[in-house]
């Protein structure tokens, strides 16, 4: 089987809540997502999706996905999409770095492999654990009262894990954590995600001010070293996210005992192939995981669901359903939240069919080898 054509489409994903806000005044109102379509000479077609959280979250931006595919695509025409390790080596040889550019292509090739094998991607990724997985809800940065009200609202929808967007004014963040914690019930989990927004001494101060609260502290500071210094001074369970973007730093963080949980995002690592490798390593090392992506619609949510559902239950800290955050559906067959949980499709591949009427014409078409 050979890749004959690679296409990229742009989808705009607005939000039910209008704007998503996190540390340092960063916000997005309409996400710019790229759907990747990989076609083959066997008539099998796979799809992937990459959606950066704006251009200022990770070293990734929406037009960069499309520009990268224009550069990389011609090297992949003629390659076998089922040979995913070889395909990833080919991508890494043709384009250094830029993992998020490769992510959508890799996901689409897993979709193809699943269809050819007549198996859902989660079974190919290791096997389906349990009937479904629990979801977290990200709580956009607002005043403490608004955030507490949102948590109550999402709790009523079935969510039991809440990731507060803090990383703002440290004194207000202390109030945010306290206001939300007061709304929680037994069995709920609370994460205060600063998204690199605190300087080191303020991070220590915030954590010590909420030392009586059952809360996870996620990525308080910009650098790994600052986060490690904070981690060593506070009692809370600790999550690293933005700094963990390859196996080298993951192994270093394990050796330093720098985290209890790691947040692995599919496009941050460069696709399902590489995220599975990191996931399996975390299982062997005893590290819990939040498995997700930077953002996305139905296709990204399907890929997340297959990855999460194929992870041993005790290691899956939480995952997310980005396709419920906004009104636009870009594919049928994607997981739908039920009582704060979702399940990977049982259909072959990712189990999604893109809505071509929503995606429109492709912005990128690659059909000739370099
Ligand atoms: Mg995070």
Helices (H), the chain: 62-76, 84-94, 99-117, 121-124, 144-156, 170-181, 200-209, 224-231, 247-255, 266-269, 272-285, 298-309, 356-359
The span from the CA of 64 to the CA of 42, in Å, is 30
What is the per-residue pLDDT across 263-316, written as a single tens digit (0 to 9) for each? 999 999 999 999 999 999 999 999 999 999 999 999 999 999 999 999 999 999
Tell me whether residue 349 is in a domain: no
In which domain, by residue range, is 12 found? 3-119+355-366
Q: Cα of 136 to ligand 1 centre, how many Å?
A: 12
Tell me whether residue 148 is in a domain: yes
Q: Cα of 25 to ligand 1 centre, how many Å?
A: 16
Over the chain, what is the mean pLDDT?
A: 97
What is the per-residue pLDDT across 139-163, written as a single tens digit (0 to 9) for each? 999 999 999 999 999 999 999 999 9
Same domain, 127 and 93: no
Which uninterrupted H or E stretch holds 46? strand 45-50
Same domain, 91 and 148: no
Residues forming a β-bridge with 190: 162
Tell me whether residue 47 is in a domain: yes
Whether 370 has a pLDDT exceeding 90, the answer reads no
Q: Cα of 47 to ligand 1 centre, how many Å?
A: 26
Same domain, 31 and 140: no
For the beta carbon of residue 33, count every other beta carbon within 10 angstroms.
27
Same domain, 31 and 128: no
The span from the CA of 17 to the CA of 2, in Å, is 43
Annotated catalytic residue, options 26, 102, 165, 268 = 165
- What is the model's pLDDT at position 231? 98
The span from the CA of 320 to the CA of 317, in Å, is 11
Tell me whether residue 348 is in a domain: no
User: Which band of pLDDT confidence, cut at 50, 70 and 90, is reported for residue 363?
Assistant: very high
Q: Is 265 a catalytic residue?
A: yes
Q: Cα of 220 to ligand 1 centre, how many Å?
A: 9
Same domain, 153 and 268: yes
Q: Cα of 192 to ligand 1 centre, how many Å?
A: 9
Same domain, 152 and 109: no
For the beta carbon of residue 19, count every other beta carbon within 10 angstroms.
13
Q: Cα of 89 to ligand 1 centre, how many Å?
A: 28
Same domain, 321 and 334: yes
* Total domain count, the chain: 2
User: Which CA distances in Å does 280 have to 125, 164, 276, 308?
Assistant: 10, 27, 6, 12
Query: Which CATH number is 132's domain given?
Result: 3.20.20.120
Any idea how long the chain is? Answer: 370
**What are the backbone angles phi and psi of residue 205, rounded to the nearest 5°?**
-65, -45
Q: pTM for the whole thing?
A: 0.97
Q: Cα of 74 to ligand 1 centre, how many Å?
A: 34
What are the residues whose beta carbon lies below 5 Å from ligand 1 (ion)? 193, 241, 263
Whether 346 has a pLDDT exceeding 90, the answer reads yes
Tell me whether residue 63 is in a domain: yes
Tell me whether residue 60 is in a domain: yes
Tell me whether residue 311 is in a domain: yes
Question: Which phi-psi region, left, alpha or beta, contains residue 98 (left: φ > 0; alpha: ψ -120 to 50)?
Answer: left
Same domain, 21 and 153: no
Annotated catalytic residue, options 102, 265, 268, 274 = 265
- What is the model's pLDDT at position 177? 98
Share of the chain above pLDDT 70, in %: 100
Handedness of CA 245, 246, 252, 256 (dihedral sign): positive
Same domain, 193 and 286: yes
Same domain, 139 and 266: yes
Q: Is 165 a catalytic residue?
A: yes
Same domain, 311 and 168: yes
Tell me whether residue 174 is in a domain: yes
For the beta carbon of residue 223, count every other beta carbon within 10 angstroms.
12
Q: Cα of 61 to ligand 1 centre, how many Å?
A: 17
Same domain, 89 and 14: yes
DSSP codes of every residue in 137-177: EEE-S--HHHHHHHHHHHHHTT--EEEEE--S-HHHHHHHH
């Amino acid at each position: 089987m050979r890749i004959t054509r690679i296409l990229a489409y742009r989808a705009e994903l607005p939000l039910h809540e209008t704007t998503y806000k996190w540390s340092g005044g960063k916000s997005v109102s309409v996400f710019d997502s790229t759907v990747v379509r990989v076609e083959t000479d066997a008539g099998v077609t796979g799809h992937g999706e990459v959606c950066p959280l704006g251009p200022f979250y990770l070293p990734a931006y929406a037009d960069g996905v499309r520009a990268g595919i224009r550069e990389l695509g011609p090297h992949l025409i003629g390659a076998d999409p089922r040979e995913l390790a070889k395909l990833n080596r080919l991508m890494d040889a043709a384009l250094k770095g830029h993992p998020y550019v490769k992510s959508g292509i890799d996901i689409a090739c897993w979709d193809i492999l699943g269809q050819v094998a007549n198996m859902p991607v989660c079974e190919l990724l290791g096997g389906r654990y349990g009937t479904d997985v629990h979801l977290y809800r990200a709580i956009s940065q607002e005043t403490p009262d608004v955030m507490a009200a949102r948590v109550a609202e999402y709790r009523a929808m079935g969510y039991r894990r809440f990731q507060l967007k803090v990383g703002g004014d440290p004194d207000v963040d202390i109030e945010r954590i306290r206001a939300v914690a007061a709304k929680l019930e037994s069995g709920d989990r609370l994460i205060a995600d600063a998204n690199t927004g605190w300087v080191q001494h303020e991070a220590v101060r915030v954590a010590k001010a909420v030392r009586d609260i059952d809360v996870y502290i996620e990525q308080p500071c910009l650098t790994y070293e600052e986060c490690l210094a904070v981690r060593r001074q506070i009692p809370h369970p600790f999550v690293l996210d933005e700094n963990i973007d390859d196996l080298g730093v993951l192994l270093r963080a394990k050796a330093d005992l720098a985290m209890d949980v790691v947040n692995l995002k599919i496009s941050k690592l460069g696709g399902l192939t590489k995220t599975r490798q990191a996931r399996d390593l975390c299982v062997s090392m005893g590290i819990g995981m939040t498995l997700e992506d930077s953002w996305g619609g139905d296709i990204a949510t399907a890929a997340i669901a297959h990855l999460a559902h194929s992870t041993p239950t005790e290691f899956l800290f939480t995952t997310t359903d980005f396709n419920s955050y906004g009104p636009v559906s870009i594919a049928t067959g994607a997981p739908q939240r039920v009582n704060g949980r979702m399940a990977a499709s049982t259909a072959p591949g990712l189990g999604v069919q893109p809505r071509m009427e929503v995606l429109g014409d492709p912005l990128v078409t690659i059909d000739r080898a370099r």
